[in-house]
Structure 1
Amino acid sequence: MTRIFRTLRDGLLFICFVVLALLIVAKLDRNTDPPIPGPYRALDRDTLSAGVERLRLEGLDAPEFDQVCGSPKGSWNCGREARRALAGLISAASAECYGFARDQYQRILVRCQAGDTDINARLVRMGMAVASGSDYIDEEDAAQREETGIWAGEFDRPRQWRRMRGMMEEPDDGDAFGDLWARLRGWLGGMFAE
């Protein structure tokens, strides 16, 4: 009985190490994606265009274009303000976006930078988006604590706002296993295409 237990334990431990190694590789690989050629244009609050490609900012969810948020000074169109903020950040000459995995709408999931500024993180920190997944939780906490942007008053989280209006639901892009699977498909596809 103990021999079976040890064999199962060792097998489970091996599987855990393999999964951990794959997650680490996926995380490290994220930083080596080639930049997607710009210039970039903000289409809405978390989607860019680069030529014919559509790019979706990864790790965040911003208010919908027509979404209204509350503040002590009254209501404001937080979706349009989120688009303005993204347009301002992405207009920097040094802006570059990286990624290759695609979402259900075939947009490339990207992380964008302008110099040392992580644009995705900056939008969340400005209170123009909420964290989706675990990458920008610290930025969201800081924006909420300082009552910045959407955190200045009452608002519905973008996912909840879409659900209440019967709009198409986007999956949570904080899914590590989904991201890993997309990267594995990309690697395997690249190996067989060459």
Structure 2
Amino acid sequence: MTIAVSPNGLPALVLNADYRPLSYYPLSLWSWQDAIKAVFLDRVNIVAEYEHEVASPSFSMRLPSVICLKSYVKPPRYPAFTRFNVFLRDRFECQYCGSSHELTFDHVIPRCHGGETTWDNIVAACSPCNFRKGGLMPAAAKMWPRQKPYQPSVQQLHTNGRLFPPNHVHQSWLDFLYWDAELEP
């Protein structure tokens, strides 16, 4: 799965005050308009720039490609319980067959058997597996998830998110993302 990031949109990679991306997946990007506004409000420092410029009759500046917040934003310890984060935890794969198509989520212990909608009971599942399992318990359906569902940390989701880089990564971002970047001796 890839996230479409248009290189023509010239987004700015947003780093926290410690020079780490605010998030990896989705990648923390601001539009060039929001980045310039933050520069003028003195909320960010420009770390790298594009070749493109914006201009008014009395002023011109190159568009920022990487910006760093001046104030540190403490990341949450635990991520929000969302469908997207469940898919990210499970690496966008059905936990029964491994498919990455037609993903939905499944209650391992069905609600009709007292199962709750929590991190510890929800897994990513493709529609065919979810339909096949239905309201059955795992033993009755002879279907067990590949991994036991759990509440991930933000760091675990960031680690998984690095497996799915966006389809456009500007050269100036590589030093901050650590995706396929070759280190110079």
User: TM-score with structure 1 length normalisation?
Assistant: 0.23
- Computing the radius of gyration from Cα coordinates, the structure with the larger value is 2
- Give 1 or 2: higher strand fraction: 2
User: TM-score with structure 2 length normalisation?
Assistant: 0.24
- Give 1 or 2: higher helix fraction: 1
